């Protein structure tokens, strides 16, 4: 850092000497060179009017110079277009549009194609980058590929943004150069680390600003066109009326209902198969449990019969009541 301080001392001394000289030249004792009058003397009469007219003329001249500079500045315009194309074959039309864009010096930035439902022709979506002087020609050429249903162009002036970016880039580049010089003259390790950190941050900001400026320049040079390509709609066919029309409508409804029924049966058939297999697996267990229950009931009945003194555990049939009609057991 001693070397840096030694370099800064002569610079500071020079700046101070220049300030003293300027103060002496512009002091109250300085003479005016045009008419020999002292600066401190008042100006009256026609001389004052001449000076006022000269100031007005100088102001008008400055305004003219500023207007001329604004006129000389090239305007930076970003153009964005939107269009919709109706074609018989959207995929073939998309291929022709891509070829047309490349022939005009542009490029296809994105392309998306989707097939139509129920065998339809489908649709396509493209984002084109076309040179700014070929946008109108490209949009007019789309009419040879199909029907252009809508078309629009939007223009945005980014001249101020580009100028601001240029100024910030120049300032940062100067700062980076100064930090680079300080880094080469630094002797202390702590100062070296501080300068390196600041230099890295400034360099990152400078790279980001340059990338932003390059993006704006690309948008100015190549306009963006968003194109949607759709298929032509088939003509509507009138349905038959009267008895024949009603019969055809009824038959179509019957066929549609039968198709729905077939779909339902097809959806339930796997579940029915699984249920049938489960029933076949559970059925032997149910039968065994029912047979065991009957055996237990028979054993219980024989035990009751033996307890009442019937031989062989047989339960005698219940005799009907004498006063009861035939066929009705006694309560």
DSSP string, 266-328: HHHHHHHHHHHHHHHHHHHHHHHHHHHHHHHHHHHHHHHHHHTT-GGGPPPPPPPPTTSPTT-
Do 196 and 116 touch, CB atoms closer than 8 A? no
Tokens of 298: 């028979």
Q: Which residue has the tokens 């223009």?
A: 155
Per-residue pLDDT of the chain (331 residues; tens, 9 = 90+): 434 444 433 433 443 343 434 334 434 443 433 343 443 444 444 444 444 444 555 556 555 544 454 544 678 899 999 999 998 888 999 999 999 999 989 999 999 988 876 666 788 999 999 998 888 888 888 888 888 888 888 999 999 999 999 999 999 999 999 988 888 887 888 888 888 888 899 999 999 999 999 999 999 999 999 999 998 775 555 555 566 777 778 888 888 888 898 989 888 888 888 888 888 888 888 888 888 888 888 888 878 877 776 555 454 554 444 444 444 444 4
Kind and range of the H or E run holding 49: helix 46-72
d(CA 239, CA 249) in angstroms, rounded, equals 9
State residue 203's pLDDT score: 92
d(CA 218, CA 215) in angstroms, rounded, equals 5
Q: How many CB atoms lie within 10 A of CB 229?
A: 27
Cα separations in angstroms, 96 against 113, 144, 238: 14, 10, 35
d(CA 80, CA 109) in angstroms, rounded, equals 14
State residue 296's pLDDT score: 85
Q: Render the burial of 41-70: b for 16+ CB within 10 Å, e for the rest.
A: eeeeeeeeeeeeeeeeeeeeeeeeeeeeee
State residue 53's pLDDT score: 46
Q: Which residue has the tokens 């409804």?
A: 253
The count of C-alpha atoms lying within 13 angstroms of the C-alpha of 92, restricted to the half-sphere facing its C-beta, is 8
Q: Which residue has the tokens 């240029």?
A: 166
Q: Are strands 107-114 and 123-131 parallel, antiparallel or unpaired?
A: antiparallel
State residue 207's pLDDT score: 94
* Of 130, 132, 127, 151, nearest in space to 140 by CA: 151
Tokens of 290: 């029912």
- The fold for domain 77-157 equals Alpha-Beta Plaits (3.30.70)
């Amino acid at each position: 850092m001693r070397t840096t301080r030694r370099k800064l001392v002569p610079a500071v001394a020079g700046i101070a000497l220049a300030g003293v000289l300027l103060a002496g030249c512009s002091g109250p004792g300085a003479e005016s060179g045009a008419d020999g009058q002292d600066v401190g003397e008042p100006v009256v009469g026609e001389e004052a009017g001449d000076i006022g007219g000269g100031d007005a003329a100088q102001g008008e001249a400055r305004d003219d110079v500023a207007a001329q500079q604004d006129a000389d500045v090239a305007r930076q315009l970003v153009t964005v277009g939107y269009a919709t194309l109706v074609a018989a074959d959207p995929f073939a039309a998309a291929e022709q549009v891509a070829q047309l864009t490349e022939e005009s010096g542009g490029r296809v930035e994105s392309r998306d194609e989707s097939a139509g439902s129920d065998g339809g022709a489908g649709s396509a979506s493209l984002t084109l980058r076309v040179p700014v002087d070929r946008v109108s020609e490209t949009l007019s050429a789309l009419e040879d590929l199909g029907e252009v249903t809508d078309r629009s162009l939007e223009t945005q002036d980014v001249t101020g943004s580009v100028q601001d970016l240029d100024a910030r880039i120049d300032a940062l580049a100067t700062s980076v150069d100064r930090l680079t010089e300080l880094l080469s003259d630094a002797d202390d390790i702590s100062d070296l680390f501080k300068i390196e950190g600041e230099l890295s941050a400034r360099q990152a900001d400078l790279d980001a600003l340059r990338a932003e400026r390059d993006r704006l320049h690309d948008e100015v040079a190549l306009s963006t066109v968003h194109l949607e390509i759709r298929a032509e709609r088939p003509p509507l066919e009138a349905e038959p009326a009267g008895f024949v029309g009603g019969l055809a409508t009824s038959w179509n409804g019957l066929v549609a209902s039968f198709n729905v029924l077939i779909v339902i049966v097809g959806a339930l058939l796997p579940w029915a198969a699984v249920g049938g297999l489960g029933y076949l697996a559970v059925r032997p267990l149910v039968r065994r449990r029912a047979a065991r229950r009957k055996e237990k009931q028979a054993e219980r009945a024989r035990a009751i019969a033996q307890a009442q003194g019937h031989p062989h555990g047989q339960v005698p049939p219940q005799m009907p009541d004498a006063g009861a009609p035939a066929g009705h057991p006694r309560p």
